[in-house]
Amino acid sequence: MYTACDDLESDDWVPVDPNTAPFYALGLGCPGATPADGIPIFAHSFHSVDANAWRVAAAFGTHEISPGVRQFSARPAYKLDGNGQPTQQVLMPSHAFLMLSTGRIAALTGSKAVVESFDSQAENGDNSNDDGDQPPAPIVPNKGSNGGLGGDAFHDCDGVGDCSDTLADQWALGGADPNDKIWLQFQTIVPPETLGYRFDFAFFSSEWPMFVGTGYNDLFIAWQVSEAYTGNTTFLPDPENPGEGLPLTITALDEYIQSEGFACLPANDPGCQPPAELESTGFERRAGTDWVTAEAAVTPGETVEVALFLADMSDSLLATLVLLDNFRWDCEGCVPTAADDCGVILD
């Protein structure tokens, strides 16, 4: 069981300190952590000039799934059984999560929650972060499979580009123009007998449904550099091309959003019905996911570098936001040779 260090009521940390808070909220680099009870990290950094483009919070929005429990609240990660299903045993406690936005985030309420006004994120699309056209190192959107030639996704990684081959086309469609960039990165050593890691996230965007299939498609990228795999780990299976993947955008999520996620439906209808789950998130007339999980493969004993990156592609309009929580090791791991094994788990 991991030791938590993200209690917003504690005097032991400062939840607005960019050097520590984003990592503590994910369960990373807790003071005194050892590989036996935590995830020690090094070479870590957080990048956001705009202090209001991120928050560490205990909850987001006001919808409750049970009395006193909000739809989007800090929640523990549970140990999985032999079938990959959660048990009742808490693996990683959680009191807070990290929020990243291409816009700006409201101040915390007295209950350490973020509450936004109705549909506010449609007009909240520009933070003051870097709009330069280059992604931060180590992210390289070029195709990285087949020794860098592409065309054989998830195989023969060149160790530099994206071995999932999922980012290049969407990056080009967005004019190779990332704006409002915000990201964190760290390195850690994989424990023995550990073949993967997981983290939880939720994704919201004001670009849905108007810009599905266009270059105005904000990207959330979890990037990994390791012996096992180098490239984007937040990909989804392409429903039109089994075995291939799509990057995490509203285009890739559109089918899920309209069936299992939270969306103002009917899509593109001025009279759409805002879902209760998005109450006071500012995305009521837009869309978001529930908490979902991403999984990646690693090699025991190796040093792995991870970067979590959010950017507004092609413009600085219409906010996109991601919640991040519970980075933890996975003994079972996954096989990074197909888009339906590793990547984003929507079930």
For the stretch 152-201, pLDDT in tens is 999 999 999 999 999 999 999 898 999 999 999 999 999 999 999 999 99
Going from the C-alpha of 321 to that of each of 20, 102, 203, 258, the distances in angstroms are 20, 7, 6, 18
Within a domain: 8: no
Q: What pLDDT score does 181 carry?
A: 96
Count structural domains, the chain. 1
d(CA 171, CA 82) in angstroms, rounded, equals 38
Within a domain: 12: no
Within a domain: 1: no
Threshold 0.75, pTM exceeds: yes
Within a domain: 309: yes
Which are the contacts of 293, defined by CB distance < 8 A and separation ≥ 6?
Answer: 198, 199, 200, 201, 344, 345
Neighbours of 151 (CB within 10 A): 9
For the stretch 195-236, pLDDT in tens is 999 999 999 999 999 999 888 889 999 999 998 899 999 999
For the stretch 94-147, pLDDT in tens is 999 999 999 999 999 999 999 999 999 998 878 999 999 999 999 999 999 999
Within a domain: 117: yes
Within a domain: 242: yes
Q: What pLDDT score does 216 carry?
A: 86
Within a domain: 239: yes
Asked if pLDDT for residue 317 goes beyond 90, the answer is no
Asked if pLDDT for residue 81 goes beyond 70, the answer is yes
Strands 86-92 and 343-345: unpaired
Domain housing 248: 21-345
Which are the contacts of 17, defined by CB distance < 8 A and separation ≥ 6?
Answer: none
Q: 84-87 — which CB contacts under 8 Å span 24+ positions?
A: 84/332
- Going by pLDDT thresholds of 50, 70 and 90, the confidence category of residue 314 is confident
Q: What pLDDT score does 237 carry?
A: 85
Within a domain: 275: yes
Radius of gyration (C-alpha) of the chain in whole angstroms: 19
